Amino acid sequence: MDCLHAKLDCTFPSGVKNYLTSQKIKWEKKVKEIFMDVSIIMGSKSDDKIAKKVTGVLEEHGIGYEVKIISAHRDPEILDEYVKNSKAKIFIAIAGLSAALPGVVASKTDKPVIGVPVEGKLLGLDALLSMVQMPKRVPVAVVGIDNGENAAYLTIRILKLCNEGGGI
């Protein structure tokens, strides 16, 4: 037993070990909640390629994350509930076309939101322009079209500020 992936040098009596094994899913969920710093929200499954760019960088740096598919247009109530209850410190919203997702997320939280525009019919310019033209008091940081890596690197920089005593 690897102490629930905590990489600690410890052993458990068989009864405790069996109990922990039976509770593994509950423990993994709790650990994920505690250490999840980033929420990656995609507007649709077709944005998965960009999300993988984000998660690749976050994994390299040991940053906890969660990936969700929630459309701002088709699932507004689900999105609202998710953002309000999320323990994430930062949201990365990946969207194409009208790209409403980052702005909607930003309107529901005071945590940082990073928008990643996705290339579409107008080469991603439609999504890019939608994201950078947010109204006052609804800020969204925006990276380049399809540039999930930069969204992850910006996230890491923000988290470093938090860890230096700033706090989010």
pLDDT in tens, 59-100: 999 999 999 999 999 999 999 999 999 999 999 999 999 899
Q: Strand 90-95 vs strand 36-42: parallel, antiparallel, or unpaired?
A: parallel
Structural domain spans, the chain: 36-163
Which residue matches tokens 């509950």? 26
Contacts of 21 (CB under 8 A, 6+ apart): 1
Stated as kind and residue range, the H or E segment containing 61 is none
The pLDDT of residue 6: 43
Q: Is residue 126's pLDDT more than 60? A: yes
CB 38 within 8 A of CB 63: yes
Q: What is the pTM of this model?
A: 0.80
User: What's the CA gap between 115 and 100, in Å, rounded?
Assistant: 10
Task: Name which CATH class applies to 36-163.
Answer: alpha beta
- Name the DSSP letter for residue 47: G
For residue 69, which of 97, 89, 90, 39 has the smallest C-alpha distance?
39
Beta bridge partners of 93: 41, 115
Q: Is residue 7's pLDDT more than 60? A: no
